[in-house]
Structure 1
């Protein structure tokens, strides 16, 4: 069946896949496709995903006539790499776009460029920072804005800009529209009227929940009370309710413009947020609450909703949109189209989902029957700088061959490898990962890696960090692992690595299979422009 004829099998989804298992009518494509990303929105803080607080009455209602993916996972717990995976259908290690300096290679096509090539009008409206055009997000958009107004009202401004684009469409013009908002992101600054819905009384005597303050808590440099964390979470929930009301207005606009009957809408997020669920704040780790994101698909032919238990990833969004829209010759992607799942032809897309980054270097989600497992591999904290090394790192290598992926911080760096004081190799590394292999001659040797210098992030304006950073070794298999069964233990408190060591070992080997991802396109770095630096400061990143 061709992409155009399949378009969207959700005509039969309206019948929740009738007993015959097939569609009585050919599926149709829609005129418009809208992708909405609510930054930092964890799935389990929405009513449709089981949350107890009334944060999302509109989205809950909308989901009654939508497709709700129950197990959708982001590929990175951070705005920039995660959204670039969403845009390209590639894992972060493939597209290579990470803070502080990497940008998307010109040869890599992303959502707006592919839709524009397919004859669609394209527009994107973000709130800047790590979603600014600087990183490559603006490529392919006919209209693009990454300007910000004020944290409390940016989402209203952003949606109004999107509305202006929709009002300007000519009759019959097909379109792709991307909308992004930080309204849920720290420093958790919803309008006052929404705060009162989730916090009764005066605010506790605590510090402002800005990025630098929250990171200090994670480093053990600042104490925080449980009452303060509960307050931050209440502000977070208030922000969700605020966005929910704004989205109600946006869908009303689609109705008023007579676009709702011919537009497919996908709503998701780049990552979640933590409120000491696993001992930290914001989004530095890779537990379920940081990677489980909403994925809701609305199509005009759906009259009743359907919940889909298939394991899905953010990298599946781009190939799905391409197939739904009938886009021909899509680029090479690691993500898979969800259309078979949407049409009810399959209840499972893949056995596992993979994510990268954060203090926990990588993780894997696995479906086994009705069970959903998460396996996490921690990077060892060998220096006070965690994954980033200031000057040197010593590794005990059990095999006679050292294989690793290494990258420098911010600028090129030369690394010297030595054993027992004797230099065995010198490596020139860049801010993008490089895979290297060095023969050691004998097993069980200690290798020392030394850098020729380091850079203070604050000195070059890429963050407020005052440590001096030199290089990072990716995917070291030296730290501890954890294994959880999310269905019976959603808060991930019971580690199964010693209870089911056979499964833990199998997942360790499966996870290693993801290490050989080949980068797509050249790695490009670019200095931050002043406006982007200002936006990142406002968001607490710098």
Structure 2
């Protein structure tokens, strides 16, 4: 029994080591996104990964014991005594992990290519398994003082090196050279931990144990050096009209897709927002894609301000609206499903709390483990299941959780991916679409795991180069998926409205529904966004509801960078003199009668070239 427990413990720790390797690859994959989310999200992902890999290691150990039990019927007692189980276990686990690691970096060309990849990877995995077994048996096991002691030393060394890498990601340069230095120094921390562990475990004196304990505590505390406490903002006073603000952003929602803007799509809840609130008929964004548009909206500055240096990055010298609100006593939170905003853009400055939801992956807590993510994707594809999560419901659930016990006054930013691709409406909305053709939902033209042989899910480049030909009915089907995905958002907007009313928050909460840009559907021979400045891409949604506003419509043209000065005037805080937008608060409260005509500028940079327009 004792030997069996040792075997299980050995595979559990070995699984933990492999989990650290996967975690380190994840740091390299998503280094900017991780830095944007901060220490606690990073450590939470590490702990969840360790739990998963330890569980897998334990399961592998149970299978190994079953194999050993069966081998008693085939192998003589003398041969079993000569068999070193730990070497075979470590070799087998390393080889299997190596196959999946190579698979996670392989290009997903086709099922046949995937099969050939694994045919090629399996011999490499067997070679890795043989090499690890030889290294363990000939050098490491005896050098480190036995199987159990040795695997403990290696496991602790791996965790210590992961903690150093976590600190580096959060605190130090993350350029290509920075990544290389991170890997080299993490390797040195691992080597130092192993040699110190061998020395201390070999001596087994109080001094040696204390020295190793101090080293371990220092390494485990290294990530705390990467912790950035919430920025302290000067208290500039209190707002004169401290209403709560809920900013709902419908990514890629063109105005004419909503009933309230004259569209034929059924959006009863958003239409109700418009009937009970104030609709701006002619609001225009300053850029045709998300990152420059959102930087402009929340800073009230034109996108060209963020063009220089690191493209579309805001430094601490830029004040975003949540930062200004914090200086006047607001609680600020964001729930975001667009990964562009969770990276290194700087747009999240001033948020007390942010929740980043990956719209591509289901395993939200394990997104920084590429081997796990890719393997899970392959499993779901084998079973014919969708990989895309219901991020719309996840954002709404987070919003309801916040509204259950809100700290007032508050600013809550809900950035929905609806109706941005992937157009992924629930089944009940798909049943409303009549279509007979080769396309299948979801429409996902930028699928990172796309198979070129899968023409039922065409990609952006394939469509632009004409590799996939779409008939009129196919284009209409894609447009209908977009509209259905928007109807799903409409359902969730209705739920939020009812939540506000049921909690009595609608009287002192201003709900703003807006979009950052629109979407083209072949009006100018293009589908998607980012490559033009036509009205289909810049004419956006802007509706105000609640907080005692009288219903009305505003026809004169406004810019989206006017939104922040308007909200500042509504809550009664001074405007930042650097803001380039102009408040239309008086027009909002007077139905547009006091709003003078103003031009709307737009810029499209680097997709594919610089563009400018004035309207």
1:133–1:146 Cα contact (<8 Å) kept: no
Name which of 226, 245, 248 aligns with 1:36.
248
2:291–2:312 Cα contact (<8 Å) kept: no
The structure that is helix-richer by fraction is 2
Matched, 1:122 2:319: no
What is the distance in 2 between the residues matched to 1:137 and 1:113?
10
Matched, 1:290 2:537: yes
Query: Pairwise mapping of residues 74-473 of structure 1 onto structure 2 (< 5 A)?
Result: 74-96=285-307, 102-148=312-358, 150=362, 151-170=388-407, 173-197=408-432, 199-202=433-436, 204-205=438-439, 209-212=443-446, 213-283=459-529, 284-303=531-550, 305-344=551-590, 346-357=593-604, 358-359=607-608, 361-366=610-615
What is the distance in 1 between the residues matched to 2:281 and 2:609?
24
Q: Match of 1:122, SS?
A: strand
Q: Deviations over 1:357-411 (max 9, x none)?
A: 0457434454xxxxxxxxxxxxxxxxxxxxxxxxxxxxxxxxxxxxxxxxxxxxx
Q: Match of 2:553, SS?
A: strand
How far residue 351 of structure 1 moved from its aligned partner, in angstroms, is 2.8
How far residue 327 of structure 1 moved from its aligned partner, in angstroms, is 1.7
Q: Deviations over 1:117-146 (max 9, x none)?
A: 111011111013112153112211111111
What is the distance in 2 between the residues matched to 1:190 and 1:52?
18
How far residue 280 of structure 1 moved from its aligned partner, in angstroms, is 0.7
What is the distance in 2 between the residues matched to 1:278 and 1:329?
39
1:152–1:189 Cα contact (<8 Å) kept: no
What is the distance in 2 between the residues matched to 1:277 and 1:289?
8
1:322–1:330 Cα contact (<8 Å) kept: no
How far residue 37 of structure 1 moved from its aligned partner, in angstroms, is 0.4
How far residue 202 of structure 1 moved from its aligned partner, in angstroms, is 4.5
Change (3 A) 1:219 1:337: farther
What is the distance in 1 between the residues matched to 2:422 and 2:269?
24
2:602–2:613 Cα contact (<8 Å) kept: yes
What is the distance in 2 between the residues matched to 1:256 and 1:133?
35
Q: Deviations over 1:409-463 (max 9, x none)?
A: xxxxxxxxxxxxxxxxxxxxxxxxxxxxxxxxxxxxxxxxxxxxxxxxxxxxxxx
Give the unaligned 5+ runs of structure 1.
1-6, 8-27, 367-542
How far residue 221 of structure 1 moved from its aligned partner, in angstroms, is 4.6
What is the distance in 1 between the residues matched to 2:521 and 2:528?
7
Q: Match of 1:244, SS?
A: helix
Q: Deviations over 1:16-50 (max 9, x none)?
A: xxxxxxxxxxxx83520111100010000100111
What is the distance in 2 between the residues matched to 1:223 and 1:207?
17
1:133–1:139 Cα contact (<8 Å) kept: no
Change (3 A) 1:329 1:96: same
Q: Deviations over 1:505-530 (max 9, x none)?
A: xxxxxxxxxxxxxxxxxxxxxxxxxx
Change (3 A) 1:348 1:271: same
2:246–2:511 Cα contact (<8 Å) kept: yes
2:443–2:481 Cα contact (<8 Å) kept: no
The structure that is strand-richer by fraction is 1
1:154–1:183 Cα contact (<8 Å) kept: no
Change (3 A) 1:275 1:346: same
CA RMSD of aligned residues (A): 2.4
What is the distance in 1 between the residues matched to 2:558 and 2:248?
17
What is the distance in 2 between the residues matched to 1:352 and 1:329?
21
What is the distance in 1 between the residues matched to 2:484 and 2:442?
16
Counterpart of 1:49? 261
What is the distance in 1 between the residues matched to 2:357 and 2:279?
31
2:418–2:489 Cα contact (<8 Å) kept: yes
What is the distance in 2 between the residues matched to 1:179 and 1:324?
20
TM-score normalised per structure 2: 0.51
